[in-house]
Structure 1
Amino acid sequence: MEFSELNLDESVLNALDTMNFKECTPVQEHTIPVLLEGHDLIGVAQTGTGKTAAFLLPVLSKLCSGDYPEDSINCIIMSPTRELAIQIDRQMEAFSYFMPVSGVAVYGGNDGVRFEQEKKGLTLGADVVIATPGRLISHISLGYVDLSKVSFFILDEADRMLDMGFYDDILQIVKHLPKERQTIMFSATMPEKIRQLAKNILNNPVEIKLAVSKPAEKIIQAAYICYESQKLEIIKDLFSAQQPERVIIFASSKIKVKEVSKALLKMKLNVGEMHSDLEQSKREEILHEFRNGKINILVATDIVARGIDIDDIRLVINYDVPHDCEDYVHRIGRTARANNDGCAITFVNEAEQTKFYQIEQFLDKTIYKLQIPEQLGEGPEYAPKVKSGKNNKKTGQGKRKYNFKKKSGNTKKTKETNQ
């Protein structure tokens, strides 16, 4: 479907035409008509599917054509991180080029000048406020933010916000909003805590779920079937021959992240850690050092699996098997971006074998099993418990080695969408 077929305001269509945006992505085709009709919505879609435009375009269209109060905040967009807030703000600037719509981005940091700029935008009544929860609450607590006329409340990457501990902050912000509003929630996954939040803040929402896209074919996927005690030693062996560069290691919890980081530092590896216990400023500092090569290995929870724009990750290691298939796709999708090659290795202990088998079933492929280094002894047999009572086919364990250095070559970049 083309954007011209949607009932968008002429100013929005002019902006899209200028940007040479013709065809809708699937998430845009399904959600924009629903939002233009005024329904609350839960959208389940990954990063990279065009979901930002899916909620921005109908809201901007309504602000242009509808009778909304001037000098008042009409739309609040919540973002889990500063980086995502900046991305949304940039897209809004582009889409609203031909429109009399004002916006302000409100996110964490210690810059007093920026805080005053945010205060000015909030008190003058910017049409659209794009904010991280903690920063917006800081402004609200000072008594000059009026949210009583907000018509649109949008939560982007809601699962990440809850993973980062923002559940109570979101409910606190909702208390300042009018009951009569359109509420829109986008999330990459739909666990029970997200459904509970939706039940609390949405009114009879339409739910649109797009299938999870498969990982890029150029990602080399492999796994070690190992005991938990062998995982750190495998990492030590992997990096004994060559210095690690641009590596993300995902762990299942912030406690595990701290333990792994501490162990890798003892190995004299250049490591940074990323989890929800860190202040926003510290997370930004670590990401900056990782981008600039001052940190070679980033050990992280899933809060960085989505939305962080780092294109040249060489290797992703799943220290623990992800909780579900969607998390696996998000994690390994950090590598092999922007025409780069990349590898993804998963450590699978005995208790994690069934979860890993379910991931293989989802991908419709058997992930290659690497042989554990001889000096570490034998690993467990790969024998996941399957509902039918039968184990999968032979897993093809072998001695193949991978070189994790960046490769050159022309690999055509493909647009990531959910079909």
Structure 2
Amino acid sequence: MSNTTPVIQQFSEVGLNDELLKSLNEAGYQQMTPVQAMSLPLILRGDDVVVQAQTGSGKTAAFALGILAKLDVTEFAPQALVLCPTRELAEQVAEAIRKLAKNMANLKVLTLCGGVPTRHQITSLEHGAHVLVGTPGRVLDHVNQNRLNFAKLQTLVLDEADRMLEMGFQDELRAIVAKTPNSRQNLLFSATYPKGIKQLAEQVSKNAQLLKVAEAPTQAKISQVFYQLDDTDSAYAVQQILLNQQPQNCMVFCNTKAEAQRIADKLIGKGFSALALHGDLEQKDRDQTMVQFSHGSARVLVATDVAARGLDIAELDLVISVNIAHDLDTHTHRIGRTGRAGAEGLAITLVGAQDDYKLRLLEDDFAKPIQLQPLPTAPAASKPLQSDWVTLQLSGGKKDKLRPGDIVGALTRDNKLTMQHIGKIKVQSNWAFVTVEQGAAKHALNLINNDKIKGKRFRARAL
């Protein structure tokens, strides 16, 4: 397995067509990341690869470009299948592929995930798609109902394979792989490389090249601080840290669903703009939570590790771990969410008595012994983190031909709201979300609910 970080190359050096190079330029891609420079030439050559690389390393673009480079848009059948552990990640991957394929005419990317009605997916499958992105359970359901024909499949991607194994998808993965052509190209990406991943890789491909991509230099810009929790209530400790640090946004990781919900409830009760994210929430609630946090209308997200998988926030000021994670790879994954894109990040870990053994293991990766510090006391004048934004949900999406520009047009039609009042916009299959300033929310709701967009009436509500 190679541990060498290659010399960064330009995308123009690997033989990509003009359409993809144009999309890369329009998307702001400059140089390849190490994972792209190491894996993309092999992927484009048609090799099977197993890549160990951290989240945020650019792996999605690597396999997306590999898929799109050999895709035949005139062949309206599934030519690539990407399997992801969660719906959130699948949606993100599908969006990334669409972004890179924007200059390829008539290319269709379809997501097949649980949490949404099957009938919409069945209709979409009947119309055909070039690239399928989905979760193992829902994809296998379509396979078992003979709704998928993999005769033309060229590429199989297992993204975040370690999480799929952790979530118990071994049997589903095995069943899906068995239905795909033996001639397929296999691409497996994983943040860690435990024994189970090695076994899965051998089942999927006997001759895959194994690549271990060195962590990006940005990791060095993450400062880690460890606070002694003692008998202090963890929710109170998190509250004091947030008041003390005043981050623009923060993710708080908990080892259990109950703890995540309890801490979120405590923070909300103290006036913080906070939300919980864990497996007990219904899919629609998880979707709404993800959108609110990524759009900035909630500033604190208290989450379990599996639920937060696939949530990609480009700029995250602070990560707090309530107790050390169950394993050290997960701890590394948590702290790696801050300090991305070269920015400086801060990761704070609350260490309880039960963490002593894990702390000693973690210490092996540090040049010096870890020093536990006393919990800071928040300044008296500090205020709870609140958001100046609110996210609105519209009762229509891509199926209604709704586009971000249509929503902007509806909100600015009477010239009372400008682009400064409007934040991020996300359009999904059946819903759309737009974030607006708190003071503009009432007027924005009136504009949408009392008029038409593209000749249709939509209902909007504040989340």
TM-score of the superposed pair, with normalisation by structure 2? 0.67
Equivalent residue of 1:362, what SS?
coil
Deviations 1:220-246, CA, capped at 9 Å, x for gaps: 53212355x545376277279789985
Deviations 1:372-408, CA, capped at 9 Å, x for gaps: 58xxxxxxxxxxxxxxxxxxxxxxxxx99898988xx
Deviation at 1:337, TM superposition (A): 5.9
| Counterpart in the other structure of 2:11 | 3
Which of 105, 123, 128 is 1:125 aligned to?
128
| Counterpart in the other structure of 2:411 | none
| Counterpart in the other structure of 1:232 | 234
Change (3 A) 1:17 1:342: closer
Does residue 45 of structure 1 match 2:50?
no
Mapping 1:278-297, distance limit 5 Å: 278-288=281-291, 290=293
| Structure 1 Cα separation of the partners of residues 378 and 241 of structure 2 | 16
Mapping 1:70-109, distance limit 5 Å: 70-100=75-105, 102-108=107-113
Change (3 A) 1:287 1:248: same
Which of 189, 210, 221 is 2:192 aligned to?
189
What is the letter of the counterpart of residue 302 of structure 1? D
Deviation at 1:27, TM superposition (A): 1.0
Cα RMSD, aligned residues only: 3.9
Mapping 1:166-177, distance limit 5 Å: 166-177=169-180
| Counterpart in the other structure of 2:365 | 362
Equivalent residue of 2:186, what SS?
strand
What is the letter of the counterpart of residue 137 of structure 1? L
Mapping 1:33-72, distance limit 5 Å: 33-64=41-72, 70-72=75-77
| Counterpart in the other structure of 2:40 | 32
Structure 1 or 2: larger strand share? Answer: 2
Which of 210, 215, 222 is 2:225 aligned to?
222
| Structure 2 Cα separation of the partners of residues 117 and 213 of structure 1 | 40
Instruction: Tell me if the contact between 2:260 and 2:276 (Cα under 8 Å) persists in the aligned partners.
Output: no
| Structure 2 Cα separation of the partners of residues 196 and 47 of structure 1 | 22
Instruction: Tell me if the contact between 2:80 and 2:153 (Cα under 8 Å) persists in the aligned partners.
Output: yes
Equivalent residue of 1:93, what SS?
helix
Deviations 1:310-356, CA, capped at 9 Å, x for gaps: 45655422122135554333212334568987643212244534533
Deviates further, 262-271 or 346-355: 262-271
| Structure 2 Cα separation of the partners of residues 97 and 236 of structure 1 | 43
Equivalent residue of 1:150, what SS?
coil
Instruction: Tell me if the contact between 1:38 and 1:182 (Cα under 8 Å) persists in the aligned partners.
Output: yes
Which of 299, 305, 321 is 1:302 aligned to?
305
Mapping 1:113-152, distance limit 5 Å: 118-152=121-155
Aligned length: 372
The answer for unaligned runs of 5 or more in structure 1 is 374-398, 407-419
Instruction: Tell me if the contact between 1:158 and 1:186 (Cα under 8 Å) persists in the aligned partners.
Output: yes
Equivalent residue of 1:58, what SS?
helix
Change (3 A) 1:3 1:287: closer
**Whose RCO is larger (CA < 8 A, sep 6+)?**
1
Does residue 200 of structure 1 match 2:200?
no
Change (3 A) 1:8 1:219: closer
Equivalent residue of 2:168, what SS?
coil
Equivalent residue of 1:346, what SS?
strand
Instruction: Tell me if the contact between 1:43 and 1:185 (Cα under 8 Å) persists in the aligned partners.
Output: yes
